[in-house]
Structure formats: structure tokens, C-alpha cells
Structure 1
Amino acid sequence: MKLYYSPFACSLADHIALEEAGASFEREAVDLETKRTASGRDFRTVSAKGYVPALVLDSGETLTENVAVLDWIASQYPAVAVAGPLGRTRVLEVLSYISSEIHRSFKPMWHPGRDDEKAGARATLAAQFELIAHGLKTDYLFGDRPSVADCYLYVMLLWAARFHVPVPASLNALRNRMDARPAVRVAMTDEGLL
């Protein structure tokens, strides 16, 4: 299988999850402005959406969208899944919130815009991170080891640091725990972020 990613984009969550799972996979960077892969291919022939992540399975099928890709990874690799009768549902619940609320709220930060829009986004994000932190009772979202949801949350926490969004101390501690994980270090190194 092959993961198409762009450094520091949300696809970093999928990269980390695959590393954390011990999966064997290829990776190829995508320039999101030119829509070209590192090998020179038109990325839109991989994913018509033109944005990452895209995970091409060994069957040749392509998965896109972080929630779908991370759910597939968790379904194939129990090391990054959450067990129990509601495990998958709870992970999807958190992934959906991260995707539809937190990730979306960062949009003004990535584009030139008015300072008041960015200040409003920071306030919204701070409240969203507080909500996530309120449910954090262990080292990670669902126990003593990270799941695919922690991988996505970690990327959002990196973005929060980049854009000076305040986050609760418990989420800073989670980010520090993730920083120290070998899988995170490998993915970050692969993407040129370390």
C-alpha cells in the first residue's frame, strides 16, 4: 500500500498511525499547490479531490478523507484500534469531531486574512480543545496507548502550537507523550519535520 501525504498536513496523522501499527507501506509526498507527487505524477490521477491523505491499498482501491483512512487503519491493525463493544464507535465519534470541528476551525490560520478572523478562530479552537481535554482521563484518549484518534489529535495540537492557540495542560502533556514515541519520530523525520 502507498500513502500520499504532504508534510505537516493532516495526512501526518495517517503516517503516524501506519508507523504506530507497524504496517509495511510506501509513502510519497505531494505538492498541494502544483498537485504533483515527488515522482512527478499528477496527483489528481490518484485522487480527483487533489488533497491528502490518499491511501492506495494493495487491491488498487484508493481511500481518501482522514476519518475513512484512519478507520480503515484501525480496522486492519488492532494496535491502533480501541477494543470493546463501543470501541470503534467512540473512535469514530472523536475522529468526526476532530475533522468536522477542530480541523475545519483552523482554516483561517492557513490563509491570509483579517486578524479578527484569526482571533475568532483561536477562541473557537481553544473551546474545542477544552471539550476534548474534559474527556481525557488517561494518558491517551482511550487508555494507556495511542489510537488512530490520538494520531489525528496530535496533528491538531501541532497546528495549535504553530498558530499560538492555547490548549489545556493535559493536551500539552499528551502532545509531549506523542512527541517521544518512535513512530512519531519516524513519520516526522520522513516528512522532513525533524
Structure 2
Amino acid sequence: MKLYYAPGSCSLSPHIALREAGLTFDLIRVDTRTHTFGDGQDYYAVNELGYVPVLQLDSGEVFREGAVLVQYIADQAPATGLAPANGTLERYRLQEWLTFLSSEIHKGFIPLFYGAAAEGYFDIARSKLLERFQWIDTQLAGRDFLMGERFTIADCYLFALIGWAKADWMTSVFRLDLDLTGLDNLAAWHRRVMARPAVQAALQAEGLQAEPA
């Protein structure tokens, strides 16, 4: 398998998942400004939409949507518990989390990336995004991870996204104006995730500086 990634982007989610699953893969860095990789190869030939992540299987099949490809990764190593079994209620709960993170958190950051052009909507988007993180904080009360005691691919996704926020305990190449101060459950969750060997390995491989929890 090949994972096409850009450091600190949402591709950090499947990167961590691959390491947690113990799967063998090639890590291929993409320059998202020029849409090239390797020795100047055209990334649009891999993904015509131009964004990361992309997971390319040995067969040549390509997955380009993060919430789907992390489930594929988890299903290759079911003993790890990264995802509950297909058809179970817990699997649907996991998919509920992945959908929420994709639609409410991931897409919620977009106006902040383009704040200068968003004008008045910038503050509205930031406030709405903070409300979503506050809700996640309440859901983590009494839980080690999003799904309870077990680390899953939903935690991989949230870890990648939360790095874009502004907080002393974050690690990212991005740093946006979203202050998560006071969300103690979220901060404790972040420390637990940061301490995982697969997470540390992924951060090191992407050249991201791991800050103290």
C-alpha cells in the first residue's frame, strides 16, 4: 500500500491508523502547492481532485476519502480493535463519529483557512467550531477515547484535525485562531493519544515537532 500525505494535514489520521494496525506501507509526501510528488510527478494522475490523503492498494485501487480509507485500514487488522466489526451497533456509532468529524469539524475549519475572504462569516464559523469542540469535551467525560475505553480510527481523525487549533498542547504545521483553553477532557484525551507509540512514530515521520503533553 501507498499513503500519499502532506505533513500536518488530515492525512495524519490514516498515517497513524496504518501504524496502529501494524501494516506495511510506503509513505509518499505530496507538495499540495504544486500538486507534485517524488521527482516532480503529477499528483493529479493519482487523485484528480488534488487533495490528500490517498491510499493506493497494491492492486492499483485508490481510496481518497479519509473516513472511508481509515475504515479499510482498520478492517485489515481487526484484532487491533481500531474499528468494531461490520454490522454491529458499535460500528454504526463509529461511523457516526467519523461523519461528525468530517462534516462538523473538518469542514468547519475551512473558513478559518480562508478567513481573509470570508469577511463576517469568519467569526461565525470560529464560534460554531468552538461549540462543536466543547460538545466533544462533554462526550469525553469519563472516557479515555471517543468510543470509550478503546482507541479507534475516530481518535486518529480527531487527533489530526485538532492539531489545526490554537492550544499550547497542540502539534501542527498549522495554527489557527481557535482557543481550546478550559476543555480539560479534550486536553487529557490529547495527552493519552500523544503518548501512543504509533502516534509518536507518525509525527516523527512527518517531521512534526511533538510538544510536551
TM-score range, shorter chain: over 0.9
Determine the C-alpha separation between the residues in 1 that align with 2:131 and 2:27.
Answer: 35
Deviates more, 1:135-144 or 1:16-25: 135-144
Which SS does the other structure have where 1:132 is aligned? helix
Mapping 1:100-119, distance limit 5 Å: 100-113=103-116, 116-119=120-123
CA offset digits 1:41-94 (Å, max 9, x no partner): 111111111100100012210001111111111222221113582122111111
How far does residue 160 in structure 1 lie from its aligned partner after superposition?
Answer: 1.6
Correspondence 1:51-130 to 2 at 5 A: 51-78=51-78, 79=80, 80-83=82-85, 85-113=88-116, 116-130=120-134
1:147 to 152, 159, 176: 152
Greater shift, 146-155 or 129-138, is seen at 129-138
Task: Show CA shifts across 1:16-41 (max 9, x none).
Answer: 11111111100101111111013421
Q: Percent identity?
A: 43
1:189 maps to 2:208: no
Question: TM-score, normalising length from structure 1?
Answer: 0.92
Match of 2:192 among 154, 177, 192: 177
Count residues in correspondence: 194
Structure 2 equivalent of residue 135 of structure 1: 139
The answer as to whether partners of 1:13 and 1:152 remain within 8 angstroms in 2 is: yes
Alignment partner, residue 158 of structure 1: 163
Matching residue's letter, 2:54: A
SS of match in other structure, 1:160: coil
Query: Alignment partner of 2:29: what SS?
Result: strand
1:88-112 alpha-carbon deviations (Å, 9 max, x no partner): 2111111111101111110122225
Unmatched runs of 5 consecutive residues or more in structure 1: none
Aligned counterpart, 1:30: 30
Amino acid at match of 1:163: L
Structure 1 residues 116 and 177: CA distance shift in structure 2, 3 A: farther
**CA contact under 8 A between 1:53 and 1:65: conserved in structure 2?**
yes
> Contact 1:4 / 1:27 at 8 angstroms: preserved in 2?
yes
More displaced, 133-142 or 18-27? 133-142
- How far apart are the structure 1 equivalents of 2:107 and 2:156? 17
Instruction: Give every structure 1 segment of 4 or more consecutive aligned residues whose post-TM-superposition deviation is greater than 6 Å.
Output: none
Q: Is the 8 A contact 1:81 1:147 kept in 2?
A: yes
Aligned-residue CA RMSD (Å) = 1.7
Change (3 A) 1:89 1:39: farther
| AA aligned opposite 2:195 | A
Distance in 2 between the 1:27 and 1:35 partners? 16
- The TM-score normalised by the length of structure 2 is 0.85
Question: Secondary structure of the residue that 1:159 maps to in structure 2?
Answer: coil
Q: 2:33 is paired with a residue of what secondary structure?
A: coil
* Structure 1 residues 24 and 10, CA gap change in structure 2 (3 angstroms): same
Structure 1 partner of 2:172: none
